[in-house]
Amino acid sequence: MIFDLIEKRRSIFPAQYIDRPIAKDVLEKILEAANWAPTHKKTEPWRFKVLTGDKKQELGIFLANKYEETDPNPKQIKIKKLQFNPSNSGAVIAICMQRDPKESLPEWEEIAAVSMAVQNMWLCCTELGIGSYWSSPGLIKYMDEFFDLAPGEKCLGFFYMGYYEGAVEPSSRTPISEKVEWMD
């Protein structure tokens, strides 16, 4: 049931992933789920760049180098994490948004549509037993130096994915009644 799947969705981090590749047809299925997200004016602003194999390591090296170049006091632990996260993942998907060139709707609606596409991927990953995590480091503003981004396209983060073993910690939420005002 969809409600159970929504409640089970969690951030599963790259440190929890095991060394098991994600097959291309599985990645395609997850991306197809993203493609069915709602989109105002049918702009379909989501764009994805799928990194597997050596490209994951190249991303990690780029992020680590860019961090060292732009931070006046780079920390060794962060450098290692920037390299580790992509390389330990089964796949990394760069989450990008292609802005409607006519700007026929506010940018936040395009970002919301991309976010819904990512939620579809996340739910699909949960169903398939694949851990996933959306990371939006400050370094994404430099991704035009790594990817060939189209005019009006920008990177919103990385969707790290990988198989994992073991139980996932249950989560909790404050009751919805504390967040809703009923008006009759």
Query: Which CATH number covers residue 68?
Result: 3.40.109.10
Residue 180 has pLDDT above 90, yes or no: yes
Contacts of 79 (CB under 8 A, 6+ apart): 64, 67, 68
173 in any annotated domain: no
Task: Transcribe 27-87 into DSSP letters.
Answer: HHHHHHHHTTS--GGG---EEEEEE-THHHHHHHHHHHHHHHHH-SS--HHHHHHHHHHHH
Q: What's the CA gap between 95 and 119, in Å, rounded? A: 12
Which residue range forms the structural domain that includes residue 29? Answer: 24-165
% the chain with pLDDT above 70: 100
**Terminal CA-CA length for the chain:** 31
Q: State yes or no: 47 annotated in a binding site.
A: no
The total number of structural domains in the chain stands at: 1
pLDDT at 137: 93
Residue 112 has pLDDT above 90, yes or no: yes
Site of tokens 């991303």 = 59
17 in any annotated domain: no
Residue 169 has pLDDT above 90, yes or no: no
Q: State yes or no: 132 annotated in a binding site.
A: no
Q: State yes or no: 115 annotated in a binding site.
A: no
Q: Is residue 129 helix, strand or coil?
A: coil
Residues 117-156 have pLDDT tens digits of 999 999 999 999 999 999 999 999 999 999 999 999 999 9
Q: State yes or no: 171 annotated in a binding site.
A: no
40 in any annotated domain: yes
33 in any annotated domain: yes
180 in any annotated domain: no
Q: State yes or no: 87 annotated in a binding site.
A: no
Q: State yes or no: 9 annotated in a binding site.
A: yes
90 in any annotated domain: yes
76 in any annotated domain: yes
For 17, the token pair is 């992933």
Q: Taking residues 4-9, what's their average pLDDT? A: 92
121 in any annotated domain: yes
Q: State yes or no: 11 annotated in a binding site.
A: yes
